[in-house]
Structure 1
Amino acid sequence: MRLRPRRLAEASPEQAAPNLTIQVLPLEPASCSRFPATYNAANRFQAPPLVKKPHTMQSRLILMRHAKSDHSDGTLSDHQRPLNARGRGDCPPMANWLAENELQPDLVLSSNALRTQQTSELMANHWPDETRIIYLDELYLSSPETMLQCLQAHAGDALKVMILCHNPGVSILASQLAGQRIGMPTAAIAVFEVAGPQPDVQRVEPSAVAPQNPFIGFGPMSQCQLSALITPKTL
């Protein structure tokens, strides 16, 4: 029997890791909800075909923008807007693509807005294994700096971490990490291979090496490579 996704209590800002140094490259903000016809993930960047590799300890950061939301009810706050029918329909194929390419995240760090919660739950319902989900108030309409702070504070020893949040922040962070302008329409996914720090096994006994957070010190200047960029329209 497949386990349902496990929710954790929302983390408070006080739980963030102290004394973080985040180096962020300046970049012109992307549009929050609309991109010109010539500005989209498919024609701005063509990622090479994703090839399944033998299991390694390499970390992966998966950035995802929430699926399409409903704007029909003007009485709802932005935080409470749900997904519309298109958004609900886009989640299963995106989740299946991640699972088929062995990219199901160990951990999802999600904004606590309703549309991101619904996106994360619909994605997790189509993954074969249980996925840990943490809903964070800090990720609602967050900046790239805040996303990286949350990543470093909560990743633990997870090797595949998804950050699921909003534009313009997610497009800006994807662009900074890729070194080129990346558009993230709704439900888009960008996968980065990350060269994380390794424990110094020369100073301790191998049996005493504790799991380390592979994303400590990670930022736009870190060694990472954009390995896949997909949208619902490209599947």
Structure 2
Amino acid sequence: MTERRVLIVDDEPQLRRVLRPALAACGYEVIEAETGRGALEAIAASAPDVVVLDLGLPDMDGKDVLARARAFSQVPILILSARDREAEKIAALDSGADDYIEKPFSTGELMARLRAALRHGSRAADEPREIESCGLRVDMDRRLVTKNGQPIKLTPKEYDLLTTLARRPDRLLTHGQILSAVWGPAHRQDTHYLRVFIGQLRAKIEDDTAAPRIVLTEPGVGYRFVKA
């Protein structure tokens, strides 16, 4: 089996020393860059399967690296940063990042997010037409949603909301991304409207709305459909 290649972009040698053996132990080939320019050159020359990108680089902001990379590559990019402000997360995700992890982090969480990002990349040209999670099945070809084998009746907007999330399983989508996809760009700021519809949707698809397992909330940022 060919090793998946991970590009680590971070100017902290200590962090790279920690990540390198952990990733290698999980079967990844690791390449590294310390600067934004080095990251862009490595993405173009080495064709990594996934990128772990810090936002605080010495020569340019990580969001600028992300924007420039997206001009020529759709490689999955996972942001790893000490910046914990919601605005930073939203800006990075809206610019094309696949996920965002705050420092400090656990190696287990990073590995899980890497696997999810790699699944995003492999599905980029062929989005899933059917997906399951915790007894919920969404069949997009038949426009049929069932829970434990029983049909669930959704309104057209509830269905569009569910499939917008389900087409990108395990990926964090911002409020703005979801609102634009379901209601149009003019509604990017209507987060209160989105919360209402998420509540209605959860009432129909979750076993316990107080402890949802299918559609999870990232406070202040957005939502994630969890494929179980």
Same fold (TM over 0.5): no
TM-score, normalization: structure 1?
0.28
Larger relative contact order (CA 8 Å, sep ≥ 6): 1
Bigger proportion of residues as strand: 2
TM-score, normalization: structure 2?
0.29
Compare CA radii of gyration and give the structure with the larger one: 2
Bigger proportion of residues as helix: 2
